[in-house]
Amino acid sequence: MDWSPFEGKRVLITGGLGFIGSNLAHALAGRCAELTLVDSLIPQYGGNLFNISGIEDKVRVNIADVRDSSSMDHLVQGQDFIFNLAGQVSHIDSMLDPFTDLEYNCRSHLSVLEACRKHNPEAKVLYAGTRGQYGKIERLPVDEDHPERPMDINGIHKMAGERYHLLYHRVHGLRTCSLRLTNTYGPRHYMRTSRQGVLSWFIRLALEGREIRLFGGGRQQRDFNYVEDVVEAFLMAAASPDADGQAFNIGSGRATTLREAADLAVRVAGAGRVTEAEFPDDKKKIEIGNYCADTRRAERAFGWRPKTPLEDGVRRTVEFFRAHWRHYWSE
């Protein structure tokens, strides 16, 4: 990884105390002139002060809501890179409370983009999209030209957030880019509920020696992406002018069934067990089917390729949460 594009630069991360944001902060800490993390610390959205343990003296933390235009107008000024990662990621929660999802996955991003348009049009802005934008999958692997027909409110709003970013590039000349992420897992993930990451939840259940219940026999295929690979993708896209104004799939490029993932979590953790159950209606209605990402566009544009084999990533994740679980799910 070439760190020179970030040396002497100012970097802002929205959602900076959350899962991907904090891992990005650990990668950048000490490598840029100034690193600012913005997070509202809304309960159940993933923000956790322990996520910056060890780098507290290398970052500035601003507890603020990205929907607050006056705060963002101030915070974006002078920033060279803005990683716009704040948002609500639960598909089920978006169906239960669509207006809250609208606030945090649409209005919040317009707030950031408008602040940049008015006060810092030179900044490079990176957005975290999702494979949920595609909806029901027609062909595998999924490239960026696959139709986007989201199956839930979260997917619709995330698609809108991406379109806002790309529109601001076309119309206002902002240097924006979207990375469509899929099933990211790893250290510092939100672990209190199952709604923000299936593999991370499997790992918690296994570490606690509990039952992992698979719906539909666990035959559904997913593309699991280790967080360090995702962080590298954001950094490489940020540094590349060839990424401006485009959207890219970021994934491992390998399809893994949920059964395989659950069995792996149990084997690596040395505990837990896997069982099967009927599909609940609320989950069955928004099930997208099998998914595997085609990431060749990212490789062509800025040279990114996934590096971490699934078993290695799961092992590192198990080791992290075995050591620090009290900070993630202890009451």
DSSP conformation class of 295:
-
Confidence band of 286 (pLDDT split at 50, 70, 90)? low
pLDDT for 196 equals: 79
Mean pLDDT of the chain: 94
DSSP conformation class of 61:
E
Question: Is 329 part of a structural domain of the chain?
Answer: no
Question: Is 263 part of a structural domain of the chain?
Answer: no
pLDDT for 282 equals: 64
Confidence band of 284 (pLDDT split at 50, 70, 90)? low
Question: Is 198 part of a structural domain of the chain?
Answer: no
Model confidence pLDDT, tens digit, residues 119-167: 999 999 999 999 999 999 999 999 999 999 999 999 999 999 999 999 9
Question: Is 146 part of a structural domain of the chain?
Answer: yes
Model confidence pLDDT, tens digit, residues 226-245: 999 999 999 999 999 999 99
What does the angle CA 92 – CA 97 – CA 103 come to, to the nearest 5 degrees? 110
Question: Is 177 part of a structural domain of the chain?
Answer: yes
Question: Is 248 part of a structural domain of the chain?
Answer: yes
Question: Is 28 part of a structural domain of the chain?
Answer: yes
Per-residue pLDDT, averaged over 46-57, amounts to 94
- Which CATH number do you get for residue 155? 3.40.50.720
Cα 238–chain centre separation: 15
Question: Is 54 part of a structural domain of the chain?
Answer: yes
Q: At what angle do helices 108-119 and 153-172 cross, to 10 degrees?
A: 10
pLDDT for 206 equals: 98
Model confidence pLDDT, tens digit, residues 202-224: 999 999 999 999 988 888 999 99
Rounded CA-CA distance 98/3 in Å is: 39
Domain holding 118, by residue range, is 4-190+224-254+292-308
Per-residue burial over 228-266, b if 16 or more Cβ lie within 10 Å, else e, is: bbbbbbbbbbbbbeebbbbbbbbbbbbbbbbbbbbbbbb
pLDDT for 285 equals: 63
pLDDT for 324 equals: 97
Per-residue pLDDT, averaged over 34-39, amounts to 97
Rounded CA-CA distance 37/26 in Å is: 11
